[in-house]
A and B are shown apart, each in its own frame.
Chain A
Amino acid sequence: MMLYLINGTLNAKNTIIEKTSLKRLKMFSEMGVDTTLLLMHFSPNWRKTAGTIVAQKGQIKSLFDELQGFEQPTASPLSVNDFHDLDGYFRMHPESRDYQFQDGDLTVAEAQTDKRGKVEQVRYFDRLGNQIQLDYFNDLGRLAMTAYQRDGVTAAQTYFDQADKTALTATFDQKHYATFSKAGQHARFYSRQDLELEFLEQRLKPGDIVVTERTDYDELLAKLPQTILKVGTIYNEIPKKLAAYDALLVRNDNQAQMAEKAGVQVVRGNDYQTDGTEAWTTLLASLAKK
């Protein structure tokens, strides 16, 4: 049995929900449960957030890394001083973390770095100051994705593999993904959920447990076979599709009542603020009986 924690992204702006995912990862390891945190969104800098030690354990898998073939846990983020793409331009370094690249008085590009001077994003501009494209660098020091905008809204993205070749193209319908297509293949997904479902289906085996606290994944979990056990953890929001879950970890009586009314098994615990080992031990034991 494998336990999978499902979450969106890990980055510097994460909330308590993502931070708890990392905490759980550590907790389950200590409990001796084989656990992997699955990142379903484009998450180019998760290694920096999770820390090198966690990253090297291979307990975090990113859907996009997998599609793009990024598997270099020891590579380093790109320092702005090692970013030579725009050496033909004059580099300005104002007081912020943004570096500007000038052609005469015109800013042709802007590199955004983290507090350690590692490149995260590079924006390119035309002569009128319109953004031409936005490049995202990952924490392996590689160009991971380029986004193209139209009318101020992202209209398409191309994701690259380790050899800088297109691995995936995404097009957008307004602000929503319209299609994902794998380069060289006609593997085509008409929604992010289709893509995520394929990612999970390739990985999950009967008896595995998936855990999520994002209600965004209700529908996705509902599409997984019944042989996969689904656990929800509630921070604030009650899942919209309670029936998709085999069990819920709830923090208060209200949440418990609502879940029980829907016939979902409930375990009380608040691992956001306290040690949740006991609650999880109870929950996993009850699932084992299933």
Chain B
Amino acid sequence: MFFFVGKTMKIKVSGIENAQIKRLVLFRKFGKPAKILTMLYDPETSVRMAAHGVHADEYFNLYDYLCDIREVEQQQIQPTDILKMAKLPLSSVTEKNKRYYLKGKLTLFIDTFSNGNVKRVLHYGPDEKYTSEDKYDVRGFLSSTIIFDVNQRRLVDIYFDLAGNKRITQRWQLKDEKVSKTSVIIDDGQRKTILTGKNELQAYFLSQLAEAFPQSAFITDRALDVSWAMENTKTPIYKALFLHNIHATNLLKNPTSKDYNFNYRQPLLNLNQWDCMIAQTDQQAADCRLQFPDDKVVKISGASWDPETVTKNKLKDRQPYKMISISRISPEKRIEEQIHIFNKIHAEIPDATFDIWGLVSDDDYFDKLKQQIKELKLEKEIQFHDFALDISKVYDEAQLMIVTSEYEGVMLVINEALSHGVPVIAYDFKYAPREFIIPGENGNIVAMGDRGIAASTGIDLLQDKKKWQEYSNHAYESALRFSQKEVFAQWQQISDRAAEFYEKGGQQ
């Protein structure tokens, strides 16, 4: 079994979760058992996973797993059910904005999910202060209860199994008037285990999985959140660090920089406890080998796609002069550079338009971009679009993608664009452009910050239809290097290493 160890799964996912899902789909296609692991408590995990096409048997959430909750049939539990259970004299109950008053006194607050099921119920005591909160899973069962102290500060969280038995008790301690999670007691129905904090809880979860699924490979996608747990399981596990980003800062100037990315500091400083680190590009793998042992560095592409799902679109099928950018709206993506480049292109090609797709993760930065667009009087030409689950159509209608990040572990959208026949012009940052772009064939790589060359290359490509078509054809072809078949073959090296690890009795 392969476990892809993450933190949580939202509807609007970042590149890391997107990569996890794509990897899962890849493993599913080739019949290799794999599951995504999430660590945070989230009663909506099931719907979020389903929205991404992840099947119910393809993930485990820590809390669900330790509460023996696996695949559950959807049940209905609506506010009226809560009122019936509460045995309130309904003739004396009034409701306003989900708040239920008994003889004028606030008694219950019942919130619901979008499917109508009860989400949470707050119980109020004297002085209309809440004393406890019941949280329901979106699948329709009581999942946890939070008990508050008299000052409405969290005291204890109790998580239940489907039969209502207490399985996890999480205490909150008060320090400087703030509450923080401290100890956890796990009750597996036979024995209790006392743990301290989320890291020990995660390590316990991973150990349980290691025992239930022997000889599994654990691939860490959210290193910052789970590395300590990975390193401290009771049962030895095969563990690989998946680098989704640069492993250190200033790598352009110093490829052996030891100023490690804070996300990877823990595992990189304790690499002897890890089997390997997985770099997604040749360039990053090479940089890693400059300072880490050769046998600890493995290259596996994060990009993978299914050529059968793509229809080759000719230029006539695309929106003329449509340029796109797809990434989180975040400063390190340097979208302001893309806007400057587009401004130069637009000056030469007035019909050019630019669509920027992505999740806004920095509102201030987003505001700055909007201000920049306003100052350049490009409000009509440049449009922002929110995160979308499927953006195949966006690629299929575009003519050019521009990428200007400061740094990336890999930028899957570059290969996605190429696989849809969209040429890409990118700054020469670490790491991604050199992995996917073959200059003069499927796009171009220009020096960091050279807006002029980036713009002139783009203008040249957009104005020369024959040239654009050649680039587009090459884009389709070049992306085949990262077809699912090719990339899945790369994962065999992890399977082999994991098998060897367990043959040696769990020794690195």
Q: Which residues of A contact B164 (CB under 8 A)?
A: 165-166
Asked if B481 CB lies within 8 Å of chain A CBs, one says no
Q: How far is it, in angstroms, between the C-alpha of A150 and the C-alpha of B154 when the chains are bound?
A: 10
A84 cross-chain contacts in B, Cβ below 8 A: 190-191
* Contact yes or no, A174 B173, CB < 8 A: no
B24 interface contact, C-beta 8 A: no
Can you give 22 A-B contacts (C-beta < 8 A)? Answer: A109-B194, A126-B171, A130-B173, A132-B183, A132-B185, A150-B153, A150-B174, A156-B149, A163-B165, A165-B166, A166-B166, A169-B147, A171-B147, A171-B149, A172-B149, A173-B150, A174-B150, A178-B126, A179-B131, A184-B85, A186-B88, A186-B102
Q: Determine if B147 and A186 form an interchain contact, defined as CB atoms under 8 angstroms apart.
A: no
> Which of B107, B169, B192 gathers the greatest number of chain A CB atoms within 10 Å?
B192
Closest partner residue, chain A, to B108 (CB atom): A186
Residue B87 at the chain A interface, CB threshold 8 Å: yes
Is A190 in contact with B125, judged by CB distance below 8 angstroms? yes
Most buried by A among B145, B149, B164, B196: B149
B125, A186: Cβ atoms closer than 8 Å: no
Interface locus among A50-58, A67-75, A85-93 = A85-93
Chain A interface residue number, banded:
35 or more
Q: Which residues, 130 to 160 on B, are CB-close (under 8 Å) to A?
A: 131-132, 145, 147-150, 153, 155-156, 158
Decide yes or no whether B463 CB sits under 8 A from chain A: no
Q: Which of A93-148 contact B (CB under 8 A)?
A: 103, 108-109, 124-127, 130, 132-133, 148
B108 with A148: CB separation less than 8 A:
no
- A15 to B185: give the CA distance in the assembly, Å: 37
Nearest Cβ on chain B to A175's Cβ, whole angstroms: 11
Q: A184-B85, A190-B125 are in contact. Are A85 and B149 (CB under 8 A)?
A: no
A41 at the interface (CB under 8 A from B): no
Please provide the 5 A-B residue pairs with the shortest distance between their CB atoms, ordered closest to farther: A186-B86, A179-B125, A126-B183, A155-B149, A108-B194
A127 touches B196 (CB 8 A): yes
Interface of B is mostly: strand
Residues on A with beta carbons closer than 8 Å to the beta carbon of B173 = 126, 130
Q: State whether the Cβ of A158 lies closer than 8 Å to any Cβ in chain B.
A: yes
A181 at the interface (CB under 8 A from B): yes
A87 CA to B190 CA in the complex, in Å? 9
**A185 pairs with B85, CB closer than 8 A:** yes
Is A164 in the interface zone, CB < 8 Å from B? Answer: yes
Bound form: Cα–Cα A164–B191 in Å: 14
Other than the given A165-B164, A174-B150, A190-B125, 19 more pairs (CB < 8 A) read: A85-B187, A85-B191, A109-B194, A124-B183, A126-B182, A126-B194, A130-B173, A130-B182, A132-B185, A132-B194, A158-B147, A166-B145, A171-B131, A173-B150, A185-B85, A186-B87, A186-B88, A186-B102, A188-B123
